[in-house]
Amino acid sequence: MAAELATWFLAGFCVSLFHELGHATAARFLRWPFALIRIGVGPLLFRLGALEIRVLPFGGVIRMPEPPRATATIILWGGLLTSAFTGTAFTLAFFLTGQQFLFLFAVAVLSIVGFVFNLDPGIPGSDGHHLFGPRPKARAWARQGVFLLILITIAAIYKP
């Protein structure tokens, strides 16, 4: 049980790191400066240059000056598309390689969940919120609740 929990935490860290690095890569490509990439929430574990790692590995943020709308759109899609690619790649790796490790499954599930949650404009602070503007929260949480319930059910039933 502890090993499974640690695997999910490691997967959450990797998914958050990949997503935020997607934003950072897009910003760097556009030559837009950023000061910090924060992975996780809670107390600081360590800082290495512009990378800051927190205790709970889920979520992240990249700090930068406010970019123009077109630049911000590309930077936001950089993280979203990285999550979509990560989810697709790890799902394919899980099902096609015959190596059905929990880590592959966890990264695939968390990447897909992260992509859907981040795309939803009804969640304050999400990439979708910044891309499409704020939307009513009640419907967003209902949509996400149903989606999350389906994914948790699949994850609970199907164990590698």
Per-residue pLDDT tens over the stretch 54-107:
988 778 889 999 999 999 999 999 999 999 999 999 989 988 887 778 888 889
Start-to-end Cα distance in the chain: 14
Domain ranges of the chain: 2-32+67-157
pTM here is 0.84
User: Which is higher by pLDDT, 92 or 2?
Assistant: 92
CB 35 within 8 A of CB 134: no
The lowest-confidence range among 4-13, 16-25, 76-85, 139-148 is 139-148
